[in-house]
Amino acid sequence: MVVIEAEDLYKCYWVGEVAFPALNGVTLRIEAGQFAVLAGRSGSGKTTLLNLLGGLEVADRGTVRVKGAELGLRTKDQRSLFRLRHVGFVFQAYNLVRVLTARENVAFVCQLQGKNRRECLESADRWLERVGLGELGRRRPDQLSGGQQQRVAVARALASNPDIVLADEPTANLDSTTGRDLIALMKLLNEEYGTTFVIASHDPDVIEVARPLVRVEDGRVLGTQGKRPPVAVPCAARTLPITRRILHALAGLGDKPRNGN
């Protein structure tokens, strides 16, 4: 069963009048239960793609469907609600709430889902046990090592019983042994619970266990584009004011200004 379907995604970031094309026509399908790794060098578009798949941002063009729901058609609030029910996140820098203990961090999403606090804390304790931190639930993040904090983050991501977990460079701040242990844990949870994982990473140890490995380069996914050339949108579209764009279109000049026009 296909759980994530991205079709011809384009995303451009604007800083003033300067355009940074981040995605240039990404098409991607992820099946339920896969342990997909988006691999590519820094700046290739991995984070942007994850943000679109999780509905944190919307594409300029193209569609994202998660479990059949088209995220681009939803409001920001509707997308937040969708994330709360269906998506777990793991970040490079752990992103735990400093003032909460490990078990409170894990219980947090469950409480946001409207469940009873005690029930959430009990479930959090079980998840911490599951990631090997049963004894450390009452510590705050600054009393835990990086590897332990990331295990808390993994427990938090799974405690809400999501369909998909999106992880952005989860091992990048960890030494190689700790990183390998973490990815082994994520793979184990993926197999045990059937949760779909999509992980952005250029860590060789993560790439090794990828299923499937998705290569990202210059805002495109290699091997899925067929022979179709990239379309020069949407970054090109804003470089001309609308009236000039219409004039150019009528004159058959396309998007590019020419000398003398």
How far from the centroid of its chain's Cα atoms is residue 40's Cα?
14
> Does 201 contact ligand ADP by CB under 6 A?
no
> Does 44 contact Mg ion by CB under 5 A?
no
Question: Which residue among 24, 34, 48, 148 contacts ligand ADP (CB under 6 A)?
Answer: 48
243 binds, among ligand ADP, Mg ion, none (CB under 5 to 8 A by kind): none
**Could you give the 3-state DSSP secondary structure of residue 197?**
strand
Question: Among 22, 16, 4, which Cα is nearest to 60's?
Answer: 22
Determine the Cα–Cα distance for residues 177 and 67; give it in Å rounded to an integer.
35
> Does 194 contact ligand ADP by CB under 6 A?
no
Determine the Cα–Cα distance for residues 122 and 100; give it in Å rounded to an integer.
16
> Does 179 contact ligand ADP by CB under 6 A?
no
> Does 47 contact Mg ion by CB under 5 A?
yes
> Does 44 contact ligand ADP by CB under 6 A?
yes
In this chain, which residue has its C-beta nearest to Mg ion?
A: 47
Cβ proximity to Mg ion: between 56 and 131 the closer is 56
Determine the Cα–Cα distance for residues 170 and 95; give it in Å rounded to an integer.
11
Strands 164-168 and 196-200: parallel
Question: Which residue among 2, 13, 73, 223 contacts ligand ADP (CB under 6 A)?
Answer: 13
Residues that bind Mg ion (CB under 5 A): 47
